[in-house]
């Protein structure tokens, strides 16, 4: 009996010390096992010892041990809660802090490509500009050396809105605006949407995207144009590209220059991609026509300039492996 009593005192002291020292839930779990495990728990062993006592002693000590059990279990639970609260406090968690919006999706392939090309031209000192998509004939044709009745204005197959107002058929209209509104030196690139009167199919839409470049300054010549175009195509398609420059007529430039790139798929031998020509036409360009400069208010005796323009849609389709232009601009997401 005395032995058990002193045992109880020891257990109480051990428990009080252990519970105060416990710093984690893990330690408390171990503490629980230390006292209540079925085989060697201190309280379990104490209960087993009760069996050796006489009935009077059992009546006396039974309730004491019971109370001890309940008290210990309660204290362990309380301590667990305290530790949990303390952990939360130390982590300085702010549950009201707004979460960052989850990003999903990507930029449109066309936007990605335009940004990539913009970065190239910005590096060479060009500014990126935009202009109105609804334009007058004045900026669409007249200032670009296309007088009224010029066959090229018919070729554009334009979408007229009212009178001489139409949806621009090319980004050259912005070139005319820039040349009219600014004084040389001018170095700009113009990405933009253009429109034409066409029934959409797999390769043509009623709108398309052009990328135009214009530079005007003293002593600008064809070599400057060829130089920037070479560098640009290397940037876009790799160092080993080969360009071919040939004469081509465009009314707003003189001389006009068509630019072909040696087909990368067949290395000039001919394949379905280049339609067995070995070369792919990539853009139109030339020295800005004397009349264009003059009509835009720039002295053609003093300044010269070049312009180039390319279609972006086919470029984007090639780059991203998109085989139908309707997929490029449709609302349906294809896998
Ligand atoms: Zn080819």
Calculate how far, in angstroms, residue 257's C-alpha sits from the geometric centre of ligand 1: 22
Calculate how far, in angstroms, residue 244's C-alpha sits from the geometric centre of ligand 1: 15
3-state DSSP of 61-89: HHHHHHHHHHHHHHHHHHHHHHHHHHHHH
SS3 of 43, please? helix
Mark whether 31 and 159 lie in a shared domain: no
Calculate how far, in angstroms, residue 172's C-alpha sits from the geometric centre of ligand 1: 30
Mark whether 44 and 128 lie in a shared domain: no
Q: Please state, as a whole number, how many other Cβ atoms lie within 10 Å of the Cβ of residue 102.
A: 5
Check which CATH number belongs to the domain holding 203 and give it. 3.30.930.10
Calculate how far, in angstroms, residue 228's C-alpha sits from the geometric centre of ligand 1: 24
Mark whether 322 and 266 lie in a shared domain: yes
Calculate how far, in angstroms, residue 236's C-alpha sits from the geometric centre of ligand 1: 18
Mark whether 310 and 182 lie in a shared domain: yes
Q: Which helix (H) or strand (E) holds 179?
A: helix 172-181
Question: Both tokens of residue 178?
Answer: 């820039």
SS3 of 313, please? helix
Q: Which helix (H) or strand (E) holds 113?
A: helix 109-123
Residue finishing a domain among 58, 90, 122:
90
Judge whether 102 lies within some domain: no
Question: Both tokens of residue 12?
Answer: 């109480």
**8: domain range?**
2-90
Q: CA-based angle 99:104:110, to the nearest 5?
A: 140
Contact 331, 241 (CB under 8 A): no
Mark whether 65 and 190 lie in a shared domain: no
Mark whether 276 and 137 lie in a shared domain: yes
Report the pLDDT value the prediction gives residue 235, as an integer from 0 to 100: 92
Report the pLDDT value the prediction gives residue 127, as an integer from 0 to 100: 95
Mark whether 192 and 51 lie in a shared domain: no
Calculate how far, in angstroms, residue 260's C-alpha sits from the geometric centre of ligand 1: 12
Q: What is the pLDDT along the chain (335 residues), one digit of tens a residue?
A: 677 788 888 888 888 888 888 888 888 888 888 888 888 888 888 888 888 888 888 888 888 888 888 888 899 888 888 888 887 777 766 777 788 777 778 889 899 999 999 999 999 999 999 999 999 988 988 888 887 777 666 655 778 888 888 889 899 999 999 999 999 999 999 999 999 887 777 667 788 899 999 999 999 999 999 999 999 999 988 888 899 999 999 888 999 999 998 887 888 898 887 889 989 888 999 999 999 999 999 999 999 999 999 989 888 887 787 777 778 887 766 55
Mark whether 32 and 158 lie in a shared domain: no
Calculate how far, in angstroms, residue 333's C-alpha sits from the geometric centre of ligand 1: 30
Calculate how far, in angstroms, residue 275's C-alpha sits from the geometric centre of ligand 1: 7
Mark whether 56 and 204 lie in a shared domain: no
Look-up: residue for tokens 């059992």? Answer: 58
Q: CA-based angle 302:123:143, to the nearest 5?
A: 40
Calculate how far, in angstroms, residue 189's C-alpha sits from the geometric centre of ligand 1: 29
Judge whether 101 lies within some domain: no
Judge whether 289 lies within some domain: yes
Calculate how far, in angstroms, residue 280's C-alpha sits from the geometric centre of ligand 1: 8
pTM of the model: 0.66
Report the pLDDT value the prediction gives residue 203, as an integer from 0 to 100: 67
Q: Please, which contacts does 162-166 make with residues 24 or more away whose CB atoms are closer than 8 Å? A: 164/136, 164/137, 164/138, 165/134, 165/135, 165/136, 166/134, 166/135, 166/136, 166/137, 166/140
Contact 217, 254 (CB under 8 A): no
Look-up: residue for tokens 């910005």? Answer: 122
Judge whether 307 lies within some domain: yes
Calculate how far, in angstroms, residue 294's C-alpha sits from the geometric centre of ligand 1: 41
C-alpha to C-alpha distance for 71 and 31, rounded to whole angstroms: 14
Mark whether 247 and 208 lie in a shared domain: yes
Judge whether 231 lies within some domain: yes
Judge whether 104 lies within some domain: no
- CB environment 110-141: b (16+ within 10 A), e (fewer): beebbeebbebbeeeebeebebeeebbbebbb
Look-up: residue for tokens 């086919």? Answer: 314
Calculate how far, in angstroms, residue 262's C-alpha sits from the geometric centre of ligand 1: 8
Mark whether 188 and 223 lie in a shared domain: yes
Beta-bridge mates of residue 166: 135, 160
Calculate how far, in angstroms, residue 237's C-alpha sits from the geometric centre of ligand 1: 15
Calculate how far, in angstroms, residue 231's C-alpha sits from the geometric centre of ligand 1: 22
Calculate how far, in angstroms, residue 102's C-alpha sits from the geometric centre of ligand 1: 43
Report the pLDDT value the prediction gives residue 119, as an integer from 0 to 100: 95
Contact 210, 192 (CB under 8 A): yes
Sort 294 into a burial class: Cβ within 10 Å, 0-12 / 13-18 / 19+. Answer: middle
Q: How many domains does the chain have?
A: 2
Residue finishing a domain among 57, 90, 123:
90
Mark whether 193 and 245 lie in a shared domain: yes
Judge whether 100 lies within some domain: no
Judge whether 99 lies within some domain: no
Strands 165-167, 207-217: parallel, antiparallel or unpaired by DSSP?
Answer: unpaired
């Amino acid at each position: 009996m005395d032995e058990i009593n002193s045992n109880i005192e020891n257990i109480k002291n051990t428990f009080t010390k252990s519970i105060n020292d416990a710093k984690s839930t893990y330690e408390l779990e171990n503490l629980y096992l230390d006292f209540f495990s079925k085989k060697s728990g201190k309280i379990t062993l104490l209960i087993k010892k009760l069996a050796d006592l006489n009935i009077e002693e059992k009546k006396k000590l039974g309730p004491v041990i019971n109370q001890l059990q309940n008290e210990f279990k309660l204290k362990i639970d309380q301590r667990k809660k305290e530790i949990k609260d303390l952990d939360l406090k130390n982590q300085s968690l702010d549950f009201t802090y707004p979460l960052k919006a989850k990003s999903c999706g990507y930029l449109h392939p066309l936007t990605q490509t335009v940004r990539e090309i913009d970065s190239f031209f910005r590096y060479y000192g060009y500014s990126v500009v935009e202009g109105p998509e609804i334009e007058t004939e004045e900026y669409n044709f007249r200032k670009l050396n296309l007088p009224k009745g010029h066959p090229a204005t018919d070729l554009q197959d334009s979408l007229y809105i009212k009178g001489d107002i139409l949806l621009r058929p090319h980004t050259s209209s912005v070139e005319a605006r820039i040349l009219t509104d600014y004084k040389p030196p001018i170095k700009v690139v113009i990405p933009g949407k253009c429109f034409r009167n066409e029934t959409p199919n797999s390769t043509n839409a009623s709108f398309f995207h052009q990328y135009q470049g214009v530079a005007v300054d003293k002593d600008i010549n064809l070599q400057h144009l060829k130089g920037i175009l070479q560098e640009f195509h290397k940037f876009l398609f790799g160092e080993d590209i080969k360009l071919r420059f040939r004469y081509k007529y465009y009314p707003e430039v003189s001389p006009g220059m068509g630019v072909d790139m040696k087909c990368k798929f067949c290395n000039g031998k001919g394949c379905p991609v280049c339609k067995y020509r070995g070369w792919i036409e990539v853009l139109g360009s030339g020295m800005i026509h004397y009349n264009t400069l003059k009509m835009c208010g720039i002295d053609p005796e003093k300044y010269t300039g070049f312009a180039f323009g390319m279609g972006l849609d086919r470029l984007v389709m090639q780059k991203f492996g998109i085989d139908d232009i309707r997929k490029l601009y449709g609302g349906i997401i294809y896998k």
